[in-house]
Amino acid sequence: MYQIGWFSTGRGKGSRGLLQTAQDSIKSGELEAKIAFVFCSREYGETEATDIFLKMVEDYQIPLVTFSYQKFKSRVKPSESEPVVTSSPSWRLDYDREVMKQLQDFHPDLCVLAGYMLIVSAKMCQKYDMLNLHPAAPDGPTGTWQEVILKLIENNAKQTGAMMHLATSELDKGPVVTYCTFPIKGEPFDRYWQEIEKLPANSPRRHDAKDSLFKLIRQHGLAREFPLIISTLKAFSECRIKIIEGKIINTEGKPIKGYNLTAEIDNQVTGAIL
């Protein structure tokens, strides 16, 4: 059985929803895999939202490992906890070493950063193949999903998407593993593009149109994020792709620059976006 490692900070509904989606896919047989463990960087009692997440993991009877990064950070000397410009602060490297020690009895085939709020160290990336979601197509804008959408509107972009990339110690710099794209020109986007183009920059209506376009792009992108994550795990469990020495390999044994799941994702979201 394909073994998945699950890393999360368990901050809110998104973390719980993704775990539930994965478990539902496993239970239905759509995803032939098993979540070998859930690692959470918070412990019981830190936040109500995380407590709900941890209880959910236990209810699913998934092995749970918790280790609070906030508590760990508070135990180091103040000078060690200060940000370092050229690399991660020393406490982060020590924290990841301790995490790997606590997970040493698990041997996942693949790990997912599912709402994990820490940048993983190079040591951790060398230990595990870890996937992270970025809310843009390959070669698209970098940054948070908010920053991505603002750049798309500013650049008058024709399409966007989402991708899973291999986590590295450099944020959002790892090689593309899977992706999907969708157009943001044509229906139902054009009415807002047209208003933005024709109205004066200081017009309240132009601001409203820009805000509506922003929300619409987010709606279409968000609808694809969970399906992309699950379809990516499915592609790995079915051996359609694999990771060898940091490269994405297809069924022919050839390296590829990302596995295109657009058609598969479109089939899943058709009719789901109102």
Segment 134-160, tens digit of pLDDT? 999 999 999 999 999 999 999 999 999
Residue 36 burial by Cβ neighbours in a 10 Å radius (0-12, 13-18, 19+): buried
The pLDDT value recorded for residue 87 is 52
Segment 111-131, tens digit of pLDDT? 999 999 998 999 999 999 999
Percent of the chain with pLDDT over 70: 94
In order of 155, 201, 258, 260, the CA distances from 130 in angstroms are 31, 43, 15, 19
Q: What is the mean pLDDT of residues 52-60?
A: 98
Would you tell me how many other CB atoms lie within 10 Å of the CB of residue 49?
Answer: 16
Q: Categorize the per-residue pLDDT at 185 as very low, low, confident or very high, splitting at 50, 70 and 90.
A: very high
Q: Tell me: pLDDT of 271 over 80.
A: no
Q: Tell me: pLDDT of 217 over 50.
A: yes
Q: Which residue has the tokens 């995803």?
A: 31
**Would you say 237 and 32 are in contact if contact means Cβ atoms under 8 Å apart?**
yes
Q: What is the mean pLDDT of residues 204-218?
A: 95
**Would you say 204 and 193 are in contact if contact means Cβ atoms under 8 Å apart?**
no
State the average pLDDT for the chain. Answer: 93
Question: Mind spelling out the 3-state secondary structure of the chain?
Answer: CEEEEEEECCCCHHHHHHHHHHHHHHHHCCCCEEEEEEEECCCCCCCHHHHHHHHHHHHCCCCEEECCHHHHHHHCCHHHHCCCCCCCCHHHHHHHHHHHHHCCCCCCCEEEECCCCCCCCHHHHHHCCEEEEECCCCCCCCCCHHHHHHHHHHCCCCEEEEEEEECCCCCCCCCEEEEEEEECCCCCCHHHHHHHHHCCCCCHHHHHHHHHHHHHHHHHHHHHHHHHHHHHHHHHHCCCEEEECCEEEECCCCECCCEECHHHHHHHHCCCCC
Q: Tell me: pLDDT of 164 over 80.
A: yes
Tell how strand 64-66 and strand 33-40 pair up: parallel
As a whole number of Å, the end-to-end CA separation of the chain is: 37
The pLDDT value recorded for residue 83 is 46
> Which amino acid is residue 242, in one-letter code?
K
Segment 68-111, tens digit of pLDDT? 999 999 887 654 444 443 356 778 899 999 999 999 999 999 99
Q: What is the mean pLDDT of residues 55-62?
A: 98
Residue 163 burial by Cβ neighbours in a 10 Å radius (0-12, 13-18, 19+): buried
Would you tell me how many other CB atoms lie within 10 Å of the CB of residue 204?
Answer: 9
The pLDDT value recorded for residue 103 is 98
Q: Tell me: pLDDT of 24 over 70.
A: yes
Domain ranges of the chain: 1-128, 138-161+169-274
The pLDDT value recorded for residue 114 is 96
- Report the topology of domain 1-128: Rossmann fold (3.40.50)
